[in-house]
Structure 1
Amino acid sequence: MSLFWTLATIAVLALLIVVHELGHFLAARLQGIHVNRFSIGFGPILWKYQGPETEYAIRAFPLGGFVGFPDDDPDSEIPPNDPNLLRNRPVLDRAIVISAGVIANLIFAYFVFVAQYSVIGVPEKFDFQPGVIVPEVTSQESPAALAGIKSGDIILAADGQELGASEQAIRTLMDVIRDNPNDPVDLKVQRGERQLQVSVTPKIGDDGVARIGVQLAPNGSITAYRRPNGFFEVLGLAAEQFQSMFVTTVNGFWSLFTDFPSVASKVAGPVKIVEQGAGLASSNANTLFPFTAIISINLAIINILPLPALDGGQLAFLLVEGLRGKPIPTRIQENVMQTGLVLLLGLGIFLIVRDTAQLEVFQRLFQ
């Protein structure tokens, strides 16, 4: 993993934070709402610029950012009853400002896919290799996990039937699994330089279809691209890719809530994200496009969750205010938000420490 791609991945994360906060900022300014701070990161200020109304700053801890409003600033010269203070605006105006960061990240993700197809082109030729890749085992309690299948394994054969090197390999494997509910299926698996024999028993899901609990992907790589047939094809392909990635991400977050013990270990912090992004980009620079879009979608979904200190938490307060006809007392809101911020920062620090300790370079120091 080169330093260049590590820095490029960090730059991507910084860009996504800027996009998110810029969404809040523009949504406020376009409505004439006062904004006095635009900060990337938290903690001590490393650099700042004072504009006519807004202070722009970069802070020491790059775990996010914020847009500040003068509503509760004791040094603000704006009268408390000014109609352009955020707190004095109707619920809908405030909801637009709060949700604009999420919307900005989703729109940005879509246009990243537009850029991908415009710059790189449309995949035209795929060099298939034997077997089917298992990018992820969806749960530690799934039949695949219990059988010993791991992420990154390549399934070469099922019940003695070679899957071959073609686009039909995934369909062949799925047919074998679905045709053997509750019956053992023998798989030949490639793991690194070794070949293993694994027996897995598909389980019938709620929809009546037998599954083993893995994601599947074709084994191979794209070797040729073509120029898109006009801008409308680019827009259409980008929309399809965005929809697929959005649905996959939402399902991943749903699994986090419904199967937390199995999925919690897969939650990644900034260090792990940078490591994965740099690793992907160093092997194929084109992957920086989908990586950027995926992280942008993740950032949007995380922020819309109804948790304290996140955009979703503030929207939850607005929803309660709209239903009861008056806002929740300021002290309660501040206590909840401060508690949530402390917990989120604590989680961020924990993930940074954990992921740093798992880095190959770090582990070598203790060998």
Structure 2
Amino acid sequence: MSVLAAIAVLAILILVHELGHFIAARSQGIYANRFSLGFGPILLKYQGSQTEYTIRAFPLGGFVGFPDDDPDSDIPPNDPNLLRNRPILDRAIVISAGVIANLIFAYLVLALQLGIVGIPQEFKYQPGVIVKPVNEQSIAYQAGIREGDIILSVNGQELTAGNDSTLLLTKEIQTHPNQQLDLKIQRQNEQIPLKLTPTQSADGKGLVGIELGPNGKAVYRRPQNPTEIFTVAANRFQQLVVGTIKGFGQLLTNFQATASQVSGPINIVKIGAKLAADNLANLLSFAAIISINLAVINILPLPALDGGQLAFLLIEGLFGKPLPAKIQEGVMQTGLVLLLGLGIFLIVKETTQLDFVQQLFQGL
């Protein structure tokens, strides 16, 4: 059930994104003749007065179709309600509306979570640093560290209760590239000694491929009023957006060290399923984080993404005319092939890393 919950969250986020495009178009009187959740063969179809609504086999995305380039459309090519015949601002609103919808949805989800769970009041620390998601290809995983482990000491230095322990361990890892660290790990009721040697990243810092956090539990209180909920949600939303942008910035500036941390659909569902199994309220945080990531990814000026189409509009605005249609189609098709190829690569890679698949291979 937790896996289905995670998949449902991804489907909802895709639906929200495409609804943003669709509503922005229809509210301006722009024709939209197709609305699809997913790609590939059609599973369900409903023909409305102006739009064909479909659910397709592969829920890895979706699209809103416009009759501008539909050879079967009987709409005159000079109709002012075709998307291509609208002013640049109208088209920019339609193209960017999916990103805006994902951001608004993320903020509302955070507010909903605060309304259900409460406002964080304090954090009760316990000794040690807890290990969050571990990259299965990382140095840490190969050394035996697993998600949920509590690191109690590093090189004989105890990691006491408090957020300073997380900073201390992070510093020890970053300042000891290619040098062995002696760790003491607590896994359930067992304490395990482990040796870990960070690899050296491009910027010279040690890297092991784990996410660390303070060991403890947050204490919540009931919100005083709705204003407090929306204010705290706004602060958390800002932190998540800034953190996401910084993460993509690190991917661009330090690709070699961070590329292995990129997750595809399988790992995203896996993380979401675990959060749903641990605490249903955590699934709301997962939805907000993924929704913000979808928004940031789509606004990047890359072919086949919303940001790529906005880049074409910017060129049109600067030079007074659009790029030739063949150039735009070639760029967008190339970008789409590359994105689909990357998606398939990540799916295959992550599928082969699933426990039951590896057990299957071992049995052959």
If the length of structure 1 is used for normalisation, what is the TM-score? 0.85
CA contact (8 A) 1:159 1:185 kept: no
Percent of paired sites with the same residue: 61
Instruction: Tell me which moved more, 256-265 or 299-308.
Output: 256-265
Q: Which whole-Å CA distance do the structure 1 matches of 2:347 and 2:134 have between them?
A: 24
What is the count of residue pairs matched by the alignment? Answer: 352
- Give the counterpart letter for 1:281 in structure 2: A
Q: Choose from 118, 123, 128 the match for 1:121.
A: 118
Q: Choose from 21, 35, 45 the match for 1:48.
A: 45
1:366 aligns with 2:364: no
Q: Deviations over 1:166-213 (max 9, x none)?
A: 3554466679899x899x89664426451236688999x89xxxx756
Q: Deviations over 1:31-52 (max 9, x none)?
A: 1111111111112211111111
Distance 1:196 1:115, change over 3 A: same
The equivalent of 1:235 in structure 2 is: 230
Q: Secondary structure at the match of 2:126?
A: strand
The equivalent of 2:92 in structure 1 is: 95
1:301 aligns with 2:299: no
**Shift, 1:28, TM fit:** 0.8
CA contact (8 A) 1:108 1:293 kept: yes
The equivalent of 2:72 in structure 1 is: 75
Distance 1:360 1:175, change over 3 A: closer
The RMSD of aligned alpha carbons is: 3.1
CA contact (8 A) 2:88 2:313 kept: yes
CA contact (8 A) 2:95 2:306 kept: yes
Instruction: Tell me which moved more, 259-268 or 322-331.
Output: 259-268
Kindly report which structure 2 residues correspond to 1:219-230, keeping only aligned pairs within 5 A, or say none: 219-222=215-218, 224-230=219-225
Q: Which whole-Å CA distance do the structure 1 matches of 2:197 and 2:330 have between them?
A: 53
Q: Which whole-Å CA distance do the structure 2 matches of 1:218 and 1:365 have between them?
A: 36
1:287 aligns with 2:282: yes
CA contact (8 A) 2:304 2:333 kept: yes
Kindly report which structure 2 residues correspond to 1:213-362, keeping only aligned pairs within 5 A, or say none: 216-222=212-218, 224-362=219-357
Q: Which whole-Å CA distance do the structure 2 matches of 1:162 and 1:366 have between them?
A: 41
Q: Which whole-Å CA distance do the structure 1 matches of 2:220 and 2:308 have between them?
A: 44
Q: Which whole-Å CA distance do the structure 2 matches of 1:165 and 1:338 have between them?
A: 53
The equivalent of 1:195 in structure 2 is: 193
1:165 aligns with 2:169: no
Q: Choose from 152, 166, 176 the match for 1:156.
A: 152
Q: Which whole-Å CA distance do the structure 2 matches of 1:41 and 1:258 have between them?
A: 32
The equivalent of 1:22 in structure 2 is: 19
Q: Which whole-Å CA distance do the structure 2 matches of 1:202 and 1:261 have between them?
A: 11
Distance 1:191 1:334, change over 3 A: farther
**Shift, 1:306, TM fit:** 1.2
Distance 1:349 1:202, change over 3 A: closer
Q: Which whole-Å CA distance do the structure 2 matches of 1:363 and 1:195 have between them?
A: 27
**Shift, 1:154, TM fit:** 3.9
- Give the counterpart letter for 1:22 in structure 2: L
Instruction: Tell me which moved more, 233-242 or 167-176.
Output: 167-176
Distance 1:80 1:6, change over 3 A: same
Q: Which runs of 5+ in 2 are unaligned?
A: none
Q: Which runs of 5+ in 1 are unaligned?
A: none
